């Protein structure tokens, strides 16, 4: 082999080596993006796996759009099935977690409290062990209506108050907020946020400069649910469901040219430079956490949260009731707080509520260190003990604020 041929071979080998190094760096970059930024730079991944497809077929076959305790709702996305009994929980004819019916107005001498939120409000324990029931039993002259629905975002909880809750004329409205709920404000199709979620969609709000604008549930009827069966092979439907979904912009894109799919370097370049919905300038808008782990106050989700709470609490006051925000910490929040970081991811929210003079009960201190582990179930919800701790803390705070007559006793505290 001549000198020129050797130089050419060496040059080609160097180019190939550089190429493979770039591919490896791209793989590492995509992994880092997924871990730190939440950007899953992959293509062709089915949106609904076989288990979710089975759930969808079962929901369609049920006639009333029911999936166990959950029933399809054209406006809210889903709600609890009225008259349900199973798994230790029962609902009444209005779909509240309750063993009895409620008149639209409270009985004379009874202070009515209504609680709205997700599964931390609904609770994953039997009716008699929910913090609402324990609170009602411990404080004289009150009743607590449980409007909680599993997997709800704050937007759905607000819409349920507007549609149903105010009709019951509560004197106090408890807005249950679990610290992960921020992310749900920018999600529409639940599997886009997590492929393990039920194949249902929700309404959400958007906001430019003026008031909040409602984006209705895109799966409002049976025909829309039927169309979901073709979702994995229907890019137009995926795009339509993802139009207002931040997770779609992060995780799911139009399929790139075939050659691009097999090269990490090409996938990375395609994602960053060719996909119009994902730009570097969007990172601040879409990341719900800042670099220090706290809520990113510049994100769309956080700005929506502030606007929604202002609108909701304003309506509650105009309805003649007192709004109180309950902040439900996750176990990871408690561990981070006590583990030396001394930081709450939701500190910006607490500061906002204080500045806006919106009453808030931060339940971080409701969990004594020795009882924290037993206060949570394996899936991260509050156990029966956790519900007792929450009920005790909420009752104490309501009495201290003069909202209910005290003292509240008989929580069965250990």
What does the alpha-carbon distance between residue 357 and residue 322 come to, in Å, rounded to a whole number? 12
Task: Compute CA distances 72 → 78, 202, 368, whole Å.
Answer: 4, 10, 39
Query: Which pLDDT does position 289 carry in this prediction?
Result: 87
Query: Which pLDDT does position 263 carry in this prediction?
Result: 66
Q: Which residues contact 190 (CB under 8 A, 6 or more apart)?
A: 151, 197, 198, 199, 200, 201, 202
Query: Which pLDDT does position 235 carry in this prediction?
Result: 87
CA atoms within 13 Å, Cβ hemisphere of 119: 14
What does the alpha-carbon distance between residue 259 and residue 267 come to, in Å, rounded to a whole number? 9
Over its C-alpha atoms, the chain yields an Rg (Å, rounded) of 25
| φ and ψ of 327, to 5 deg | -100, 115
Backbone dihedral region for residue 234 (phi beyond 0: left; psi -120 to 50: alpha; all else: beta): beta
Query: Which pLDDT does position 390 carry in this prediction?
Result: 98
What does the alpha-carbon distance between residue 136 and residue 127 come to, in Å, rounded to a whole number? 12
295-316 confidence digits (pLDDT tens): 999 999 999 999 999 999 999 9
Nearest C-alpha neighbor of 264 from the set 25, 18, 15, 16: 25
Q: What is the DSSP letter of 330?
A: -
**Which stretches of the chain drop beneath a pLDDT of 50?**
35-41, 43, 274-285, 412-414
Query: Which pLDDT does position 329 carry in this prediction?
Result: 98
Query: Which pLDDT does position 402 carry in this prediction?
Result: 93
CB contact at 8 A, 377 and 346: no
Nearest C-alpha neighbor of 153 from the set 33, 236, 245, 291: 245
End-to-end CA distance of the chain: 86
> Quick check: bond before 407 cis, omega within 30?
yes
Structure tokens at 271: 């994602």
Longest CA–CA separation in the chain, Å: 103
CB-based burial label for 128 (10 Å; 0-12, 13-18, 19+): exposed
Question: Scanning the structure block, which residue is given the tokens 């207002």?
Answer: 244
Question: Scanning the structure block, which residue is given the tokens 């439900």?
Answer: 328
Structure tokens at 404: 């209910």
Domains and CATH numbers, the chain: 43-259+281-414 (3.40.50.1110)
């Amino acid at each position: 082999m001549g000198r020129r041929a050797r130089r050419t071979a060496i040059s080609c080998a160097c180019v190939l080596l550089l190429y493979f190094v770039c591919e490896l760096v791209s793989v590492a970059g995509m992994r880092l993006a997924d871990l730190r930024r939440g950007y899953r730079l992959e293509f062709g991944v089915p949106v609904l796996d076989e288990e979710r497809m089975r759930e969808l077929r079962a929901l369609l076959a049920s006639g009333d759009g029911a999936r166990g305790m959950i029933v399809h709702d054209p406006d809210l996305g889903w709600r609890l099935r009225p008259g349900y009994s199973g798994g230790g929980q029962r609902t009444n004819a209005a779909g509240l977690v309750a063993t009895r019916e409620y008149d639209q107005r409270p009985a004379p001498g009874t202070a009515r409290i209504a609680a709205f939120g997700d599964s931390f409000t609904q609770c994953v324990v039997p009716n008699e062990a929910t913090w609402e029931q324990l609170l009602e039993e411990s404080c004289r002259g009150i009743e607590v209506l449980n409007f909680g629905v599993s997997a709800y975002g704050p937007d759905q909880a607000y819409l349920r108050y507007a549609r149903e809750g105010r009709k019951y004329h509560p004197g106090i409205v408890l807005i249950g907020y679990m610290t992960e709920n921020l992310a749900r404000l920018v999600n529409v199709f639940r599997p886009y946020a997590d492929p393990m979620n039920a194949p249902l969609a929700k309404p959400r709000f958007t906001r430019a400069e003026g008031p909040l604008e409602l984006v209705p549930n895109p799966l409002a009827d049976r025909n829309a649910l039927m169309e979901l069966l073709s979702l994995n092979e229907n890019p137009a439907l995926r795009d339509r469901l993802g139009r207002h979904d931040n997770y779609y912009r992060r995780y799911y894109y139009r399929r790139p040219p075939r050659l691009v799919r097999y090269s990490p370097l090409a996938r990375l370049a395609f994602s960053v430079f060719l996909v119009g919905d994902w730009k570097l300038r969007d990172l601040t808008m879409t990341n719900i956490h800042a670099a220090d782990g706290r809520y990113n106050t510049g994100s769309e989700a956080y700005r929506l949260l502030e606007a929604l709470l202002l609108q909701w609490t304003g309506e509650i006051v105009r309805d003649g009731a007192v709004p109180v925000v309950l902040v439900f910490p996750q176990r990871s929040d408690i561990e981070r707080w006590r583990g030396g970081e001394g930081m709450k991811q939701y500190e910006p929210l607490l500061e906002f509520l204080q500045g806006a003079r919106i009453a808030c009960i931060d339940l971080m201190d409701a969990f004594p260190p020795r009882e924290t582990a037993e206060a949570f179930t394996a899936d991260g919800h509050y156990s029966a003990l956790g519900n007792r701790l929450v009920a005790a803390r909420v009752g104490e705070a309501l009495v201290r604020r003069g909202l209910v007559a005290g003292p509240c006793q008989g929580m069965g505290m250990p």
